[in-house]
Structure 1
Amino acid sequence: MAKMSIGLKDLYYAKLLTDVRDGATTYSTPKYLAGAISANLNPNGTSTTIYVNDAPSESITSQGLLEIELGIDALESDVAAEIFGYRIDNNGAILEGNSSNQPYIALMFRSETSDGGYKYYVLYKGKIQPPSEELQTRGESVEIKTGSLTGSFVNRASDGEKKVTVHSNDEKVQANPEILTDWFTQVYEPDTTVAP
Structure 2
Amino acid sequence: MGKVLHGLDMFHLALLTKDDHEGVTYEPPEPVPGAVNVSVTPNTESNTFFADNGAYEIFNSLGDIDVNMEVADLPLEMQKKIYGHQEEEGVQFASIEDTVAELALSFRAKVSTGGYRYYWFLKGKAQLLPNEYQTDEGNVTPQTAKLTLKFMPLQYNKRWKSQAEDKPDLNLGEKWFKEVVYKGDVLTPTP
CA distance in 2, matches of 1:95, 1:30: 24
Change (3 A) 1:153 1:100: same
More strand by share: 2
Distance 1:66 1:160 in 2: 13
Q: RMSD value over aligned CA atoms?
A: 1.7
Aligned residue number for residue 140 of structure 2: 142
Alpha-carbon distance in 2 for matches of 1:98, 1:2: 50
SS of equivalent to 2:78: helix
| Deviation by residue 1:5-49 (Cα, 9 ceiling, x = unmatched) | 11100001111111121x110111111123100010101122111
Amino acid of the structure 2 residue aligned with 1:188: V
TM-score, scaled to structure 2? 0.89
Matched, 1:11 2:1: no
The answer (yes or no) to whether the contact 1:47–1:62 under 8 Å persists in 2 is yes
1:90-118 deviation per Cα after TM superposition (whole angstroms, max 9, x unaligned): 2x211101354211011111111111110
- In 2, the alpha carbon distance for the partners of 1:34 and 1:130 equals 20
SS of the aligned residue for 2:80 comes to: helix
Structure 1 residue aligned with 2:81: 82
Shift in Å, 1:60: 0.8
Aligned twin of 2:179: 186
Distance (whole Å) between structure 1 residues aligned to residue 97 and residue 38 of structure 2: 24
| Structure 2 Cα separation of the partners of residues 63 and 99 of structure 1 | 31
Letter aligned with residue 61 of structure 1: N
Aligned length: 185
What is the TM-score when the length of structure 1 is the normalising length? 0.87
CA distance in 1, matches of 2:56, 2:150: 33
- Cα–Cα, structure 1 residues 185 and 99, in superposed 2: closer, same or farther, change >3 Å? farther
* Contact 1:121/1:165 (8 A) holds in 2: yes
Shift of 1:153: 0.7
Q: Is the 8 A contact 2:106 2:119 kept in 1?
A: yes
List gaps (5 residues or longer) in structure 1: none
CA offset at residue 130 of structure 1? 2.4
SS where residue 155 of structure 2 aligns? coil
> Which secondary structure state, in structure 2, belongs to the residue aligned with residue 97 of structure 1?
coil
